Amino acid sequence: MVSPEERRPPAGDLASLSELDEASLLGGLRERFLRQQVYTDVGDILIAMNPFQPLPLYGREVSERYRHHQTGTLPPHIFSVASRAYHAMLGHRGGGPQSQCIVISGESGAGKTESTKLLLQHIMNLCKGNSQLEQQILQVNPLLEAFGNAQTVMNDNSSRFGKYIQLRFQKNTVRGAKLSEYLLEKSRVVRQDPGERNFHIFYYMFAGLSSEEKEMYGLLDPSLYRYISGRFGTEDVAQCWKQKYQEVCNALDMVGFQEQEQVDMQAILAGVLSLGNVTFEPEERNGSVKVSEASWGWLKAAAGQFGVQEDELLKCLICTMSVTRGEQIQRFHTQQQAEDARDSIAKVAYGRVFCWIVCKINELLAENVDPEVELSEIGILDIFGFENFAVNRFEQLCINLANEQLQHFFNRHIFELEQAAYKEEELPWETITFNNNEPILKLLLAKPLGLLSLLDEQSAFPQATDRTFVDKLNSSFKGNLHFQPGRGRVLGFSIIHYAGKVQYSAGGFLEKNRDTLPANVRGLFINSITPLLSVLFTATISRTGTLMPHVKPKVVPGADDKFNSTRKQSAGAQFRHSLMMLMERMYSANPHFVRCIKPNSQKEPGVVDSQVVLLQLRYNGLLETIRIRRDGFSWRPSFEEFAERYGIILVKPDVSLTKESCLEILQSTELTGWMCGKSRLFFKYWHQEQLAKYVAQLEGAAVVIQKVFRGFKCRRSYLKLVAEVRAEAQRLQEEAERERSRQLAVEAEAQKRISLPVPMPRKRRPQPCPHPDKSSEPPVPRPRSKLTEFTPFDNFLDPSAPRPVLGTEEETGEEVKMRKCKRGATLRWFKETQAKKVIQDDGAFPSWLHGMISRREAENLLIDKPLGCFLVRISQSRPGYTLTYRGEGRCRHYMIQVQPNARYVILGEDRAHASLTRLVRYHQTVGIQPFMELLTVPCGQKSSESLDYEDLECLKLTPSEDKGGTPPEEQPCPSGPSTSRPGLQSGAAAVLRHVWFRRSKNCQKEQREDKRTKPSSGKKTGSQRAFPRFHSSIRLAMQEIQQLSSTTLKNSAQSCCEALSIKDLEPK
C-alpha cells in the first residue's frame, strides 16, 4: 500500500517547487549548499555543486545505505544515480535488462572527474564480486589523471582529454571494462599559458623518483627544463606530488603493467623533457641551422633516453630527406622549422604513450567470457567541460564542440523526444520551448561548408595559412547569427555557443589540425632499441585516433619520404569520427544525467556566487528541465511492456498484454497522475518506484508461499521416509522372530533325535598387517593437527597402500587423481617461480611460511595463538598463497594473488607489492581491508620435527651450501633462527640430492654472474632491476650537461669579478 506521503515528489527535488522561477530555483540551491547538501534532484536528473572541500558523504557505510534505497527515503546523492543505473541494467526497474549510460556534464572545475570516481566506487561496491578486476578498474582513474590531467587557471585537476568507460556485466558481476579516450591536448606538452602547468606526471616524476632513479633516467633539476617552464612547487606541494607518484606506480602494478614497460615509459617521458631543451642557431655558411653548443648534451641525453642514435635524431630535427626519381634530396630547415620539428616529435611521442596506456588498460581489463554470452553495459562519460579562457585555441574549439553535442543529446532526450511522444499520442500538452543548439552544430559539423570541413580543406593546401583560413570563414559564414568575424586586424573569430560567446585565436589552427610528424621520425623510432618506443611507432592510427599496435618488420630510416606520410586524417576529422561513435553508443543506451555546477570561480568552499550559478542554470536549461519534469511524463512504456512486467499485481495467470489489462492493473493500485495514450502509458518519474513497491510486496508474499509449500513438501517426504523406515524395521523384526522360531523348532527336533553335535568351523584370528622394513625406510613425520591426530601416518610409507585423505573418504578415484595433479602443479609452480624469491639470506624460509597445509590445519595451528598472529600457506588448488589471520573469535583467510607482472595482491586490496615479504611488512603497519586487521606475530613452526613445508625442504639453503658444501641429506637444515633438523630420510635421498645439486649449481652460477656484473659502487644490478637500454649514454650526457652548466656559471662569475675590478680601477 502506498501512503499519501509517498505519492508526492521526494524531499530535495526541485520539481516539487510551488513557484517555479529563477529566484526560487537559485534560493533552493543556495540554501541546500550552505547546509552542505551539495546534491539536489530535478526528477531523475541530479544537480551536483562542487563543495571545493572534502565532505563525509562517501564512506562505505553511506554506500551501503544507498544499495537498495527507495526514492524519497534518502537524500539525493551521486550514489543514488549509480544504484538506479545498476538496477535498471539488471531489469529491476520495469522492463527488461538494458544497457545504461551516465552523462556527466558541466564547465571546467565543476567536479566531473570526482563524480566519475564516486560513481565507479559505488558501482563496484554494488557488484560485491570480491574479484581483483574491480580493484583494477578503480585504479584506472588515478592512472589516467596523472597522464591526462593538468592544472589550468580554472581547475587544479582539469581533464585535458575526454573518456568514456564501459563496464561490462554478466548478470550482476562485472566481467570487464573498456576505455575510449578523446582529444588529448598534446600542445600542453610543449607550451603552457601563464598560471598553468604541464601534465601532472612530469611533476610527479621529479618529486617521487629517488636520486639514484633520476640518474638512471637522466633527470636533473626541474628548473632546467623548458617544457615545464622551469617552475616547480613548494616543499608541501612536492611532498603531495611524491605521494601521487607512489599511487601512480601502484596503479600501474595493480592494472598489470610489466616493470620493464614502466621503465621504458618513464625513459620516453624523460626524453621528451630533454628534447625540449635542444635549441638551434643559424649556420653561417649555407643558411641552415645547427644545434647550439649549449644544448649538445641535451641532444645526446634525448637520444639515449629514446634509444636511438644521436646523429639520426639530429637529421630529423635540422633537415628533411626526400627521394625524387631515385635520387635523395636533402632540404635543410629554417630555425622555426627545426623548432616546430622538435615540438612535433615531443607531442607525438607523449600522445602515443598516452594512447598506448589506454590500449594496455583495455587489453588487461578485457572480459574473459564466451563470445556468445550476452553482456550488459553501464557507460560513464567524463568529458572536458565548457571552456572560455582569455586566449582560446583549436583545443578549446574541439572541447566546446563536444559540449555542444552533449547539450544537444540532453535536449533531444529530455525535450524533443518526450514532447513528440505527447503529440503522437494526442495528449493534452502545452509545448515547452527550450534553447535548441542544432544550428550551432550545423555551423561546426556540416559538410562541405561546416567549420571543420573548411579547416580540413585549407589544411590540404601546402600554401594555405591561418589568415587564408579566417578569410574563408568570414566569407562562408557571413550573416550567420552564431558566427562573428574578428574585429580589425585580429586573427580570429567568435562563435555564439549555447553557453555564451567565445572568441577564438586562429593562430596555429592549420598546424594543429595537420598534426604533422617530421620525415624519417617514424622509421627512426621503429628501429629504437627501446621496445616500447618501437611498438608505439609501428602501430597505426584508426579513424577515431585510437592506437592500434601490431607486429611489423623494422623499416630502414628514410623509407618514409613524404613529410606527413604517417598521417592519414587530420586531428579535426579524427575527433569528428570519435564523437560520432560516442553519440551512437549513448543513443543506444538508457541515459542518466548528472549536471555539475561550479558555485564560484575562486574555488572557495562554502561560497555561492549567485551570478556564476545563475549563468550556468540558464545555459544548461535547468528551468525548462524542471518544468518538463514537473508537468511531463518521463516514463512511457508500451501496453505490452507494462502488462508483461506488472501483470503479477492482478494475481491471476495468463494476463493478456492489452490496454484493458494495463488499466485493470492500474485500477487495482492507488497511483494517480498517470495518463493513457493510444499505444502507451505515461507516468511521472516517481511512479516507477511506487509500482516497484507493489511488485516487491507480491514477490515477498510469493517467497512466503514458496517457503510454506517447500516445508510442507519436505515434511511430507520426511514422514513418508519415516513410515518406510518403520515398516522396514517391523518387517525385519518379524523376519527375525520367524527365524528365531525356526531355530527353536530345529533345536527341539534335534533334542528329540539325541544325535551327536556337529562341530562348527573355527574362525581365524586376524593377523597383523606386515610393515615394510623400517631399517630401509624409516617413517617420515607428517604435519599434525587436531584433525590428523587419530590417523596413523605409517600407511604413507607403503607406495602400494592408499593414502588416507582427511574429509575426502567419499571421493572417487578420479577426484583424488585430479586433486593430486593440482597439488603437484602448484608445487612445481612454487619451486620454479617462487622459492628463490621467498628464501631468506640465511637459506631458510621465513617463519610465517608454512608450506602447503590445509585450511583446517592452519586454523588448528592458530587456535591457541594471540590476536593478530598469522601465517602464509601455499594454496593447494591454484598457483597462489593464502594468508590465515587469527581474529577475534575466528580465523580469517585472505587470498593472495600473484599477478602476471609478478606483483602480489590480497584480493580486495588496492595495493600491489613487489614481493611476498614486502606484502607482510606492509600489513604489519597498515590493516587489511575491510576489517583493517594488523599482522602482529608470525606463527612459527612447532618444532624441527614437524615442519609444515617438508615438500619444499629440498629447496632450503644453508650458508655452507652457498660455498659448495654437502648435500642437504648429509647436514642439518635449520627451520628457524635457532632450530635445526636432523638429516632427511634415506628414502628420499636420491630425489633430494638431485634437486640440491641442481640448486647449488644454479646458485654458484648466479653468484659468479653477480660478481661479474656487480659495479664498483656495490649496488645490485642485472636481472633484478629494469634499466633504460642506453643507461651509460644517458649518464655521460648528464655529466656533460652538468660540466657545461658549472663552466657557464664559473665564467659568468669571473666576468662579474672582472667588471667589478675594472670599476674599482677607474678614476673617481
Query: Which pLDDT tens digit goes with each residue over 342-398?
Result: 999 999 999 999 999 999 999 999 887 777 788 889 999 988 888 888 899 999 999
- The amino acid that residue 660 corresponds to is E
Tens of pLDDT, residue by residue over 2-19, are 444 444 445 577 877 767
Q: Which three cell numbers stand for residue 710?
A: 517447500
Nearest by Cα to 661 from 674, 651, 673, 672: 651
Catalytic residue among 148, 385, 545, 677: 385
Q: Is 453 in the active site?
A: no
Identified catalytic residue from 63, 152, 159, 505:
159
Q: Tell me which of 40, 50, 99, 108 is the catalytic residue.
A: 108
Per-residue pLDDT at 837: 87
Identify the pLDDT of residue 46.
92
Region 21-40 average pLDDT: 89
Confidence of residue 768 (pLDDT cuts 50, 70, 90): low
Percent of the chain whose predicted confidence (pLDDT) is above 90: 39
Question: What would the grid cell of residue 499 be?
Answer: 553557453
With 90 as the cut, is the pLDDT of residue 964 above it? no
Residues whose CB is less than 8 angstroms from the CB of residue 1030 and which lie 6 or more positions away in sequence, other chains included: 303, 304, 305, 307, 529
Amino acid 1029: pLDDT: 64
Tell which wins on pLDDT, 374 or 452: 452
Marked catalytic residue, from 113, 403, 661, 875: 113
- Most trustworthy range by pLDDT among 92-106, 608-622, 643-657, 793-807: 608-622
* Residue 69 confidence (pLDDT): 63
Whether 6 and 690 have beta carbons less than 8 Å apart is answered as: yes
Judged against a pLDDT cut of 60, whether residue 756 lies above it is answered with no
Backbone angles phi, psi at 159, to 5 degrees: -75, 120
How many other C-beta atoms lie within 10 A of the C-beta of residue 26? 16
Pick 985 or 846 by higher pLDDT: 846
Mark whether 72 is an active-site residue. Answer: no
Instruction: State the average pLDDT over residues 730-753.
Output: 89
Predicted pLDDT at 130: 60
pLDDT of residue 943: 52
Which residues on neighbouring strands pair with residue 175, listed in sequence order? none
> According to the model, what pLDDT value does residue 569 have?
81
Q: Are 459 and 571 in contact (CB under 8 A)?
A: no
- Is residue 392 a contact partner of residue 115, using CB atoms and an 8 Å limit? no
In terms of C-beta density within 10 A (0-12 exposed, 13-18 middle, 19 or more buried), how is residue 973 classed? buried
Contact 379, 164 (CB under 8 A): yes
Mean pLDDT along residues 65-86? 83
Using CB atoms within 10 Å of the CB of residue 718, give its burial: 0 to 12 exposed, 13 to 18 middle, 19+ buried.
Answer: exposed
- 759 pLDDT above the threshold of 90: no
| Chain mean position to CA 839 | 33
**pLDDT over 60 (residue 190):** yes
Phi, psi at 886, each rounded to 5°: -85, 105
Short-list 934, 904, 939, CA closest to 918: 904
> Any idea which of 184-188, 467-471, 792-796 has the lowest mean pLDDT?
792-796
Q: Does the active-site annotation cover 40?
A: no
Catalytic residue among 40, 115, 155, 288: 155
Q: Which of 114, 377, 387, 909 is catalytic?
A: 387
The catalytic position among 80, 83, 141, 158 is 158
Report the percent of the chain where pLDDT is more than 70: 79
Q: Does 155 qualify as catalytic in the annotation?
A: yes
Higher pLDDT, 22 or 592: 592
pLDDT at 977: 38
Q: What dihedral angle (degrees, nearest 10) is formed by the CA atoms of 518, 524, 530, 536?
A: 50
The DSSP code sequence of 231-290 is: ----HHHHHHHHHHHHHHHHHHHHHT--HHHHHHHHHHHHHHHHHHT--EEE-TTTS-EE
> Which residue shows C-alpha cell 573418504?
809
Is pLDDT above 60 for 975? no
Report the range of poorest mean pLDDT among 229-243, 451-465, 1017-1031.
Answer: 1017-1031
**What are the E-state strand segments in 426-582?**
483-485, 492-497, 500-505, 540-541, 547-548
Contact partners, residue 82, CB within 8 Å, separation at least 6? 66, 102, 118, 119, 122, 123, 126
Q: How far is it, in rounded angstroms, from Cα 1025 to Cα 217?
A: 13
Query: Is residue 147 very low, low, confident or very high in pLDDT (cuts 50, 70, 90)?
Result: very high
Rg of the chain taking only CA atoms, in angstroms: 38
Q: pLDDT category, 567, cuts 50, 70, 90? A: very low
Q: How confident is the model at residue 441 (pLDDT cuts 50, 70, 90)?
A: very high
Q: Note the pLDDT of residue 97.
A: 79
Q: What is the mean pLDDT of residues 567-577?
A: 82
Given this model, what pLDDT does residue 1013 score? 40
pLDDT by residue (tens digit) across 827-886?
888 888 888 888 888 878 888 998 888 899 899 889 889 999 999 999 888 889 999 999
Annotated active-site residue in 109, 218, 256, 297: 109
pLDDT over 60 at 562, yes or no: no
The confidence band for 808, taking pLDDT boundaries of 50, 70 and 90, is very low
Asked whether the predicted pLDDT for residue 1067 surpasses 60, the reply is no
931-960 mean pLDDT = 66
Q: Is 59 known to be catalytic? A: no
Whether 211 shows a pLDDT value over 60: the answer reads yes
Task: Go through 788-815 and write b for each residue having 16 or more CB atoms within 10 A of its CB, e for each that does not.
Answer: beeeeeeeebeeeeeeeeeeeeeeeeee
Q: How many CA atoms lie within 13 A of 89 on its CB side?
A: 31
CB 408 within 8 A of CB 441: yes
* Residue 990 in this model has a pLDDT that exceeds 50: no
Q: Which amino acid is at 1010?
A: D
Q: What is the pLDDT of residues 613-640, one digit of tens each?
A: 998 888 888 888 887 877 778 778 888 8
pLDDT for residue 428: 82
Bond preceding residue 930 cis, omega within 30 of 0: yes
Give the chain's mean pLDDT.
Answer: 80
Q: Is 95 left (phi over 0), alpha (psi -120 to 50) or beta?
A: left
Stated as kind and residue range, the H or E segment containing 706 is helix 687-753
Residue 1068: band (very low, low, confident or very high) from pLDDT cuts 50, 70, 90 = very low
Active site residue 108: yes
Mean pLDDT over 277-281 rounds to 93
What is the rounded average pLDDT of the residues 485-489? 86
What confidence score (pLDDT) does residue 763 get? 56
Does pLDDT of 783 surpass 90? Answer: no
Assign 88 a pLDDT band (cuts: 50, 70, 90): confident
pLDDT number for residue 653: 80
Could you tell me the pLDDT band of residue 675, with boundaries at 50, 70 and 90? confident
